[in-house]
């Protein structure tokens, strides 16, 4: 039998967000939340599909809200009744995938005309 996941308290979550380097994610109404801004509908759909792929591969499914150039991702481990390491791990994986860009000088040049998901600083 698997060990029960630790549910983090509201007071513990800011430190966990910092530990996982998730500075754009926030605790709100019992959920880890992140808003992504895109350059339009096509990029929004690519973002949603990337998140869906990661979530399905992880068997941990976020709630999504989608508009023309924005996607809101909400994470919570329903079976544990709160925020667990599963939420931080999936948030980190989403950040790594959707904000990835080719390194300068790479054989992968990157898309010159689109920002896709905007990197907010």
In the chain the domains, ranked by start, together with CATH numbers, are 30-98 (3.30.1360.20)
pLDDT of residue 108: 86
Mean pLDDT over the full length of the chain:
92
DSSP tag of 82: B
**Helices in the chain by DSSP H: which ranges?**
13-19, 41-58, 85-98
SS3 of 95-114: HHHHCCCCCCCCCCCCCCCC
Which residue positions in the chain have pLDDT lower than 70? 1-3, 113-114, 121
SS3 32: strand
Which pTM value belongs to this model? 0.90
Retrieve residue 44's tokens.
């929004």
């Amino acid at each position: 039998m698997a060990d029960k996941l630790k549910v983090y308290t509201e007071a513990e979550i800011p430190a966990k967000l910092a530990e996982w380097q998730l500075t754009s994610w926030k605790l709100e109404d019992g959920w880890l939340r992140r808003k992504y801004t895109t350059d339009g509908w096509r990029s929004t759909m690519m973002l949603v599909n990337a998140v869906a792929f990661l979530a399905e591969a992880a068997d941990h499914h976020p709630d999504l809200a989608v508009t023309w150039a924005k996607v809101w991702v909400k994470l919570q481990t329903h079976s544990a009744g709160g925020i667990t390491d599963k939420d931080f791990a999936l948030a980190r994986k989403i950040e790594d995938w959707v904000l990835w860009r080719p390194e300068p000088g790479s054989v992968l040049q990157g898309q010159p005309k689109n920002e896709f998901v905007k990197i907010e600083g």
